[in-house]
Amino acid sequence: MGELKMQEMSLPALFEQARKIHSIASESTVDQDVVEKGCELLIQCEEMVTKLGLFSLNETKDDISTANLKYILVPYYLAELTEKIAEDNRIKVLKVSQAKLKEFISFCETMELVPEEEIETSTQGGANSFADRRAKKIARFKRQRAAESKLLDLKEQKERRGRSTKAAALSTPVETGEDDVSDDDGEEEREAWLTTISLALGKAFDLLEMLNKEEEMLSAIKERQLQDGEKEFSQIVLDERTKKAETWHRDAAARAHYTKPAAPITCATFAQDVIEGRATVSQAHEHKHQPLIFGPASLVGRNPTTEREKIAAQVFQPHYRLPTMSIEEAGLTEMNMMNEWQERNMKLMEEANSSWHKDGPKSRPGEDDEEDDDAAQDKARAWDYWKDDNPRGAGNKKLTPCG
């Protein structure tokens, strides 16, 4: 039942619940069940974000809407919760957490959210000397402090605005300036999420360095244990790895017969319904355009029969032409046209590369015969002589008035 409930939840509800678990796990120690539940929620969020196509590599942070900015933090939250999982194979947990952190940092770099100092350090291959590393950590710590203080200021401004709005609503029943207040709230919310992402970036860089050092230490300890141990121990480890690999390949081959990758959502309207919780990802959806209906309410939804109803149905019509298909249908139509064009070009290329094109058209039989050429020349010469002796219109002079 829990899995069904998780699949039926909307994306904002999933993210908010996972974010609460992450904040609790960051402030204090929690049970492993809670951590695993938070990881499951974040994995579900990640799948929905990918399927809905909320982000594109062609966009920057200015192109992303305020409501979708928070979903950039999903890989970071998942990396931090994954790092808190207690398993015997600690190196495997570290590798999964590192992969999510690198994914988060690379995506933020694509969205132009990473500071220039971090980009320069990464391009130079990292700070080598102790002084460079110390200066980098100090600069990163200052950025984190500035982000934390900015978040506190934004929170205080929001609370003050809420108190003043309540006081104004109690004192005067007339509501004024609602648009300005909503605009300010939207700008503050966007600034708060951008600051939260900036703070998460600084923590992600620190956590990635710490996980790399921990992985190096554990790898060195494991190699020393393998070197000091007997050959039988190493053979047992190799047998276990071989058995795990064979089991994984066997299960993957068995799943390949009945598993099928989920088709991406290409309808913007359906994607918005899934985000806002009005529909689920598992529901089937067809690309059917629902045109806007104008006119009197008594005639909407049925075909007019009499002349009077036809004239009445044309009332309150828009001054522009209504679309005949949706954006998704137009995109699918253009994609089919492009596929047909590519297939036609491939056929033309095959014909061009064929032996018929390279050898050239074969000469017709008798085309090089000299007798046929002489006969054709004589015929053309006789026709020219006849045209010289009989100019155009010479036989119609009696039909003219002055002939």
User: Whole-angstrom Cα distance, residue 75 to residue 81?
Assistant: 10
Residue 90, domain member (yes or no): yes
Residue 388, domain member (yes or no): no
User: Whole-angstrom Cα distance, residue 97 to residue 183?
Assistant: 38
Contact 237, 172 (CB under 8 A): no
User: Whole-angstrom Cα distance, residue 274 to residue 298?
Assistant: 33
Contact 72, 107 (CB under 8 A): yes
Q: Answer positive or negative: Cα dihedral of 199, 90, 71, 157.
A: negative
Residue 58, domain member (yes or no): yes
Residue type, 382: A
Q: Say which residue, 234 or 1, is predicted with more confidence.
A: 234
Residues 301-337 pLDDT 10s: 566 677 887 777 777 667 777 777 778 788 888 998 9
Which DSSP string corresponds to 329-366? HHHHHHHHHHHHHHHHHHHHHHHHTSHHHHH-PPPPTT
Residue 73 per-residue DSSP state: G
Rg (the chain; Cα; Å): 37
Phi, psi dihedral angles at 23 (to 5 degrees): -65, -40
Residues 43-73 pLDDT 10s: 889 888 888 888 887 888 888 888 888 899 9
Residue 269, domain member (yes or no): no
Residue type, 194: L
pLDDT reported for residue 258: 46
Residue 300, domain member (yes or no): no
**Stated pTM of the model:** 0.56
Cα atoms in the 13 Å half-sphere on the side-chain side of 133: 7
Residue type, 232: E
How many independent structural domains does the chain possess? 1
Residue 79's CATH number: 1.25.40.540
Residue 210, domain member (yes or no): yes
Question: In the predicted model, is pLDDT for residue 341 greater than 90?
Answer: yes
User: Whole-angstrom Cα distance, residue 329 to residue 336?
Assistant: 11
The CA–CA distances, whole Å, from 17 to 7, 39, 44, 278, 396 equal: 13, 11, 12, 18, 100
Contact 123, 240 (CB under 8 A): no
Q: Which of 205, 259, 185 is nearest to 79 (CA)?
A: 205
Domain that holds residue 37: 6-121+132-165+187-238
Residues 143-188 pLDDT 10s: 888 888 888 888 888 888 777 777 777 766 545 445 555 556 678 8
Residue 14, domain member (yes or no): yes
User: Whole-angstrom Cα distance, residue 27 to residue 50?
Assistant: 29
Residue 177, domain member (yes or no): no
For residue 133, give every residue at least 6 positions away whose Cβ sits within 8 Å of its Cβ, in sequence order, or none. 127
Name the one residue in this structure whose structure tokens are 């290329």: 349
